[in-house]
Amino acid sequence: MFSNPTLDVPVRPRRLRTSGPMRALTAETRLAPANLIQVLFVRDGIDSPVEIASMPGQYQHTLDSVLPEVQKAIDAGVAAIDLFGVPKDEDKDAAGSVAWAEDGILNRAIAAIRQEFGEQIVIIADTCLDEFTDHGHCGPLSTDDFGVVSVDNDAAVEAYCKMAISQAKAGAHTVSPSGMMDGQIAAMRAALDDAGYSHVSILAYSAKYASAFFGPFRDAVGSTFTGDRKTYQQDPANRRESLYEAALDIEEGADMVMVKPATAYLDIIREITDFSPVPVAAYHVSGEYAMIEAAAAQGWIDRKAVALEALTGIHRAGATMILTYYATEAAGWLNQR
Ligand code: PBG
């Protein structure tokens, strides 16, 4: 009819793109609210929520203001939240010890949310020290015989174990070590089991890159950190190293593994998904959020369409779960479809 009769094209993939229902029928990937994990920040010592300058629309919450956010996530069908704590500056020390204090901000937030919402949503706690140390590194520092200062791997792991137990005790369903220390998963699994928390799961940040996309997160947690984390987080140039890290974490007992950031590392998400016997998560991080927000604010891109396209791409690459600042809002968009 419309085609040139002299053009002999029996195979026409466009037939399956002819209408919305046809495209929906043949879609290979379907992002659902339950795939999304809402990331939330809770800050000590503030009376009302503080908007994060480099992450418009995201807030440092109080213990009171975080509860309605969790309710909104539940109502939208989001299956989990991932919680970060921001302590008062005067509570930070070189070891980050307020991280495992029962009355530390993160543990209080976990307890309040678990008390209020029980099993209605999975509470994932971030299990890392950088928000709690005065130097901003992910563990205590040590100096070697040659004067080289770096994070003390084994001391950091010991602290993560204390932190994980305190989070389990407060009511976290899942702990998520993001420090990239060697042996952290095996040690944490053993520590949780010994303390009677064998039912608490571990979401391992397995392939976490030393990424500039984390920039805005430093605002979000009020970090004074300068420098880099290249002696513990991975080199963006590497691929095999991620597969090795994920394999080690699975062997050590990780219940879920994660790739972070997401959109610049879709190949890694795919490859880990191809061999992982456990669910794979990806973290659409602060800088990925901020770039979409900034361009959308200029009117240069369609905010909702780009956000959903990014999340769909991450899901298509293989991530079952996506940690994102868009979770609740995106779930709302998906529910309207
Ligand atoms: C640190 C941590 C970071 C993020 C999550 N946990 C920052 C870093 O490693 O420097 C970044 C998250 C984001 O950028 O959204 N444990």
At 204, is the secondary structure helix, strand, or coil?
Answer: strand
Q: Check: CB of residue 278 under 8 Å from CB of residue 254.
A: yes
| Among the listed residues 26, 33, 45, the one whose alpha carbon sits nearest the alpha carbon of residue 105 | 45
pTM check: above 0.90: yes
Does ligand 1 lie within 6 Å of residue 138's CB atom?
yes
- Residue 271 pLDDT > 90: yes
Does ligand 1 lie within 6 Å of residue 229's CB atom?
yes
Best residue among 37, 130, 151 to mutate for probing ligand 1, ranked by most atoms within 8 Å of CB = 130
319: tokens are: 């991530």
Residue 132, pLDDT score? 96
Q: Which of 72, 92, 169, 260 is catalytic?
A: 260
Q: What residues make up the domain containing 169?
A: 31-336
Average pLDDT (332-336) is 97
- Residue 94 pLDDT > 90: yes
Q: Which of 88, 169, 208, 230 is catalytic?
A: 208
What's the CA gap between 178 and 95, in Å, rounded?
16
Counting from 1 in the atom list of ligand 1, the atom nearest the Cα of 39 is 15
Residue 169, pLDDT score? 98
Does a structural domain hold residue 14? no
Does a structural domain hold residue 3? no
Question: Number of folded domains in the chain?
Answer: 1
Does ligand 1 lie within 6 Å of residue 265's CB atom?
no
Using only the alpha carbons of the chain, give its radius of gyration: 21
What's the CA gap between 112 and 290, in Å, rounded?
29
Does a structural domain hold residue 184? yes
CA-based end-to-end distance of the chain: 33
Best residue among 178, 228, 293 to mutate for probing ligand 1, ranked by most atoms within 8 Å of CB = 178
Does a structural domain hold residue 182? yes
Return the bridge partners of 39, or none: 82
Does a structural domain hold residue 10? no
Average pLDDT (266-291) is 98
Q: Could you report the per-residue pLDDT of 233-242, keeping only the tens digit for each?
A: 999 999 999 9
Q: Check: CB of residue 194 under 8 Å from CB of residue 201.
A: no
- Mean pLDDT of the chain, nearest integer: 96
CB neighbours of residue 195 within 10 Å: 16
Does a structural domain hold residue 18? no
Rounded to whole angstroms, what are the CA distances from 81 to 24, 84, 114, 311? 28, 10, 11, 16
What's the CA gap between 35 and 246, in Å, rounded?
20
Is 230 a residue of the active site? no
Give the pLDDT band of residue 3 (cuts 50, 70, 90): low
Does a structural domain hold residue 16? no
What's the CA gap between 14 and 55, in Å, rounded?
39
Q: Could you report the per-residue pLDDT of 298-325, keeping only the tens digit for each?
A: 999 999 999 999 999 999 999 999 999 9
Rounded to whole angstroms, what are the CA distances from 51 to 105, 132, 201, 219? 18, 20, 31, 10
* CATH assignment of the domain containing 332: 3.20.20.70
Counting from 1 in the atom list of ligand 1, the atom nearest the Cα of 218 is 7
Counting from 1 in the atom list of ligand 1, the atom nearest the Cα of 233 is 9
Residue 155, pLDDT score? 97
Counting from 1 in the atom list of ligand 1, the atom nearest the Cα of 286 is 15
Is 162 a residue of the active site? no
Residue 226, pLDDT score? 86
Q: State the complex-level ipTM.
A: 0.97
Give the pLDDT band of residue 223 (cuts 50, 70, 90): confident
What's the CA gap between 179 and 96, in Å, rounded?
13
Q: Could you report the per-residue pLDDT of 99-118, keeping only the tens digit for each?
A: 999 999 999 999 999 999 99
